[in-house]
Amino acid sequence: MTLKVKNLVGGYSQIPVLKGIDFSVDNGELVGLIGLNGAGKSTTINHIIGLLHAMKGSIEIDGITIDEDAQAYKSKIAYIPETPILYDELTLKEHIELTILAYNLDKDEAWKKANELLEIFRLQNKLDWFPANFSKGMKQKVMIVCAFITKAKLFIIDEPFLGLDPLATDDLLKLIDDVKKEGSAVLMSTHVLGTAQEYCDRFVMINHGELKASGTLEELRAQFNKQDASLSEIYLSLTKGEKANE
């Protein structure tokens, strides 16, 4: 088991946004974290990457928590945020150099991988560019390149399909598939339920900070008694049902 989230209670202030969330992501597995705006997806991710501290419960990656060994814990994570976050003062090349430094990667090996990725995302001629010269989609691609050279055990990808062109989306999905085959785990939060249904192995559905359901599409169909329903239909029925109960 790569990622284990146990009874996670947490949030930004005293009042918890997450009210006891349990799920796990196995080696070689792509899990979709599904939820509406404000459901608690980003809060969950912020807890996993260590930006927020759990009020209750625990998060383990490969059996260690952030409190036990922060450096070892963090070295296992690669994160691609929803909105690209780049250093205004660093060129594309320097973003890669910095990632190599930060994750203590083998320089030659990492650059070999980086060059492959740069070519896939058509960035190989833009090594000397600053983030200010990039479009949103290009910035997102820089984030993807930097994340996928890290050899992380757990990839956390927040809303990856916003701002990416169809070609880049396809390339990203292939990359995800590759790291899965290499034994890494991937947790992907998304609204794009059609793509999620097609590519994710399992789903974790949260709403109002609570875990509503989890499992494969087949398991979810059985759980909600909806044969042949799509992921979108299942999630909508779940949230609409909740709305009616409110």
Partner 1 sequence: MNNLWKKRLNLYLKRMIKYYRYVFNDHFVIALLFLLGGISYTYSNFIKSLNVDLSYPWAKPVVIIVLLVMLQFGKVGTLIDEPDKVFLLPQEKGMREYLMRAQKRAWVSNSVIQIVVWIVLLPFIYYGVHLNLVESIILLLSQVALKVAQVNLFFIRAFEAKYQAGKYSLIFNYVVPLIVYMLGLYASIYFALGITVGLILYLKSLPKNKIIQWNYLIDVEKLRLMRKYSFFNLFTDVPQVKKKAKRRKYLDWLIPKFKNVYGYLFIRAIIRNGEYSGLYIRLTVIEFIVLLFIPKFWLSLVIGMLFIYLIGFQMLPLYKYFDDNVFVHLYPLETNSKGKEFKSILLALLIINALISVIAVYIAIQNILLSGAFLALVLVESILFVYGYANLRLEKS
* Site residues for partner 1 per CB under 8 A: 49-51, 70-75, 77, 79, 81, 85, 87-91, 94, 97-98, 101-104, 128, 130, 132
Instruction: Identify the burial level of 148 via C-beta atoms within 10 angstroms of its C-beta, where 0-12 means exposed, 13-18 middle and 19 or more buried.
Output: buried
> Which value, in Å, is the radius of gyration of the alpha carbons in the chain?
18
9 or 90, CB closer to partner 1? 90
49 or 114, CB closer to partner 1? 49
Q: How far is the CB of 84 from partner 1 (least distance, A)?
A: 11
88 or 246, CB closer to partner 1? 88
Which tokens go with 130? 């600053």
CA distance 191 to 182: 26
126 or 221, CB closer to partner 1? 126
- Token pair 């090996």 is found at 109
Q: How far is the CB of 146 from partner 1 (least distance, A)?
A: 9
Nearest to 49 by CA among 192, 181, 118, 147: 147
Q: Which residues contact 231 (CB under 8 A, 6 or more apart)?
A: 34, 193, 194, 196, 197, 203, 217, 220
78 or 220, CB closer to partner 1? 78
48 or 211, CB closer to partner 1? 48
Q: How far is the CB of 101 from partner 1 (least distance, A)?
A: 5
The angle formed by the CA atoms of residues 31, 35 and 36, to the nearest 5 degrees, is 155
Q: How far is the CB of 6 from partner 1 (least distance, A)?
A: 22
Strand spans (E) along 84-222: 154-158, 185-190, 202-207, 210-215
Q: How far is the CB of 64 from partner 1 (least distance, A)?
A: 12
Q: How far is the CB of 130 from partner 1 (least distance, A)?
A: 6
Residue 13 CA, chain-centre distance (Å), reads 23
